[in-house]
Homo-oligomer: A and B are copies of this chain.
Amino acid sequence: MLERADLPEEVSIKDVSPRDGLQAEPKVLSVDERVSLVNQLTAAGLKHIEVTSFVSPKWLPQMADAETVMARIDRKPGVTYAVLVPNPKGAERALSTKPDEMTVFVSASETHNYKNVHQSISESLGGFHRICQMARGEGVPVTAVIVTSFGCPYEGRVPVNAVLDLAVRLESMGIADITLGDTVGVANPLQVAEMVHAFRMNAPMVRVGLHFHDNRGTALANMLAGVIAGCTRFETALGGIGGSPFSPGAGGNLATEDAVYCLSEMGIKTGVDLERLMGITQYLEGAIGHEVPSRVFKAGGRMVPVGIEGSLNE
């Protein structure tokens, strides 16, 4: 039985649209547009933003000029401006911009990690060790994402223990905030609940976050399962953008609007103003030049009279 008392008072939302979202867009946004997106998100109440990533612009032109973006955003007090770094070189660039948080990433499956960053998982962890040392010198916390935590397009279902082991190794480097990513949208709600439960039982020192893609329409149900299981940290992207538009069946992230709407309808606070958020989505659609997948953005957060809908039918 699902009861209000089983649900948390509050859930924290990290919006990753400026990074995970925009990097998947064929159109490269200008620095001005990317800065504006970040500033609008914090104005709507978001307290945690993934601003950009420090990868080579050869790989991802969408993330070029990351230093300029970081220099030009308004740093609102109380907001965590996070950046993604793929390797120590990226971390060096990132640290020069004084982020509030640096995020590293590694796949739960060897094949995906190799395809993604051309390294074994051990090699990735070696790099993180150096990144953690560099970050410690500057007093910047390091967080991690474990990619393909719920399934790998090459290796299939990933064992819970593989994810747990990797998390424990990351935690031993001082990385306590670890987000489990469902990169290809294959998680199911029961699996999410079991994963969160396994972390609470076996790695209680890890603060688990969840990051869902919506390839199979399961992202919101997976978030619900995570919330029921006691997780209170979620990564979402404005409009539900993200994923790879060039992969067959690729789906975007769980839309920030859809997450905030559903949580707020259940009486769970996010601190985010849904109406303001949807104004930003309108801006985002203009900037990227196409419709976004968010359902709440299309339907509106609140019921509105819809005319004589469904006359003579249910």
Q: Which residues of A contact B (CB under 8 A)?
A: 1-4, 7, 20, 23, 53, 55-56, 59-60, 84, 86, 105, 115-117, 145, 147, 151-154, 156, 181, 183-186, 188-191, 193-194, 197, 211, 214-218, 220-221, 223-225, 228-230, 244, 247-251, 255, 258, 261-262, 265-267, 294-296, 298-301, 303-314
Contacts and interface: CB of A to CB of B under 8 A. Distances in A.
Given A23-B313, A183-B314, A310-B183, A189 B224 contact: yes
Contacts of A223: 221
DSSP class of A's interface residues: helix, strand, loop or mixed? loop
Contact of A312 (B20, B117, B224, B249): B117
Contacts of A117: 312
Contact of A1 (B56, B147, B197, B311): B197
B216 A309 contact: no
A206 B183 CA distance: 42
Contacts of A250: 299, 306, 309
18 contacts: A1-B228, A3-B194, A7-B190, A84-B313, A86-B313, A115-B311, A154-B305, A183-B314, A189-B224, A191-B265, A216-B258, A216-B262, A217-B220, A217-B295, A220-B220, A221-B223, A221-B262, A250-B309
Listed from nearest, the 10 A-B pairs whose CB atoms lie closest are A217-B295, A249-B299, A188-B265, A2-B193, A105-B314, A190-B266, A215-B299, A221-B221, A147-B314, A247-B306
A273 B186 CA distance: 18
Nearest to A188: B265
B221 A309 contact: no
Number of copies: 2
A246 B76 CA distance: 43
A249 B304 contact: yes
B310 A216 contact: no
A185 to B, nearest CB: 7
Nearest to A19: B313
A220 B211 CA distance: 18
With a 10 A CB-CB cut-off, give which of A154, A188, A296 has the most chain B CB atoms: A188
B190 A4 contact: yes
A303 B218 CA distance: 14
A152 B86 CA distance: 49
A53 B310 CA distance: 13
A100 to B, nearest CB: 19
